[in-house]
Amino acid sequence: MRDFLPKPLKPKDADVSALLHLGIYQLLHTRIPDHAAIGATVEAANGLKRPWAKGLVNGVLRNLQRRLPELPNWQDLPNHPQWLSDALRQAWPEDWQAVMAANDQRPPFTVRVNRAKANRDAYLAELGRHDIAAAPCAFVPDGITLQQAIPVAELPGFNAAVVSVQDEAAQLAAGLLQLAPGLRVLDACCAPGGKTCHALECEHSLSEMVALDVEAARMGRVEENLQRLGLTATLKVADATQPAAWWDGQFFDRILLDAPCSATGVIRRHPDVKLLRRANDIDKLAALQQQLLAALWPTLKPGGLLVYATCSVLPQENEESVAAFVAQHGDAEHTPIAADWGHARPFGRQLLPRDGGHDGFYYALLRKR
């Protein structure tokens, strides 16, 4: 889009930038007649209360329309912000183009079978009886990917707690926690609760599952998921970086920290990340991740295990963040993950988004000496 603007838009005009992207998408990727796409996009500037933007939007879109015959490879026009494409190229020199291509695809519709209610083979057969095409996930025992997305209410057994919607990469967390009866577990930054519920489905005999999140509204989603599945957890609305406000002094045997991140591994589910995320956000997020690790580490029992996770594909938030923490904490021992998924890194394993497969995700295991 930068090539068609007379000068870059200011940060305060992010809504106009988003509107331009919508117009460009309609011109390039839909069957909407060009005049209709341009006219509707121009009029939408009024809805933004930015009448000055009408002329800009009209000029940019008509310029693109005129120049399309000169751009036979317009499908290859950059569709990621420059800072992000540069970061992906640097981090993944052999995979960055595949990552960007996967980011532009429709995300797969993946479900998790509740092993307390059914097994995967039986549920696949049930889907077949309903003429729903599906296949088992490659890397998780409870995952199934449907050929086409359907409303959750139409999933056989959804209301009976047989199945939940969850990406394959996110389903890896429960196994990495190495759960066993009697353990006390903390799911920090837990909303919307998919990993909380999966852990409880995998191990019903935990001494306690504490689900913590800073946003009360999002905690409502956690409670809804627990109720639908008939599961129980201790819910706490609090800031994980301030354990004095919520921790009762009893150590946790396991901690899952699904840390706030850039979400660069799930862009196909949240394409607004391309528009809203900025390069300087990564430093801020990496600092927050260090704060969370440092705050939660004292609540972990000696010998306990912390699973660090993000839905980012940027090393600064992942392996570099874990490496920095281990270097600063002598009692933190990195445990390599032996698996057939993702890329082994000096610290942890990195999954990159796959077309038709799992999202981009990162996991690392830290054991307390």
Give me 216's structure tokens.
């009360």
**Cβ(112)–Cβ(166) under 8 Å?**
yes
Say what the pLDDT of residue 7 is.
77
The residue whose two tokens read 């305060």 is 12
Say what the pLDDT of residue 181 is.
98
Q: 0.85 exceeded by the pTM? A: no
d(CA 131, CA 112): 19
The residue whose two tokens read 């879109």 is 61
Domain boundaries, the chain: 2-77, 109-165, 168-368
Give me 190's structure tokens.
């837990």
Say what the pLDDT of residue 8 is.
78
> Which CATH class for the 168-368 domain?
alpha beta
CATH of domain 2-77: 1.10.940.10
Cα separations in angstroms, 26 against 40, 257, 285:
10, 39, 33
- Mean pLDDT split into 10-residue runs, the chain, 369 residues: 72 85 81 88 86 89 82 60 93 95 93 96 97 98 97 96 98 98 98 98 97 96 97 98 98 98 96 90 98 98 98 98 98 97 98 96 98
**Residues in contact with 242: Cβ distance below 8 Å, sequence separation at least 6, in sequence order:** 295
Say what the pLDDT of residue 1 is.
56
CATH of domain 109-165: 3.30.70.1170
Among the listed residues 189, 190, 197, 311, the single catalytic one is 311
Say what the pLDDT of residue 135 is.
98
Residue 261 annotated among the catalytic residues of the structure: no
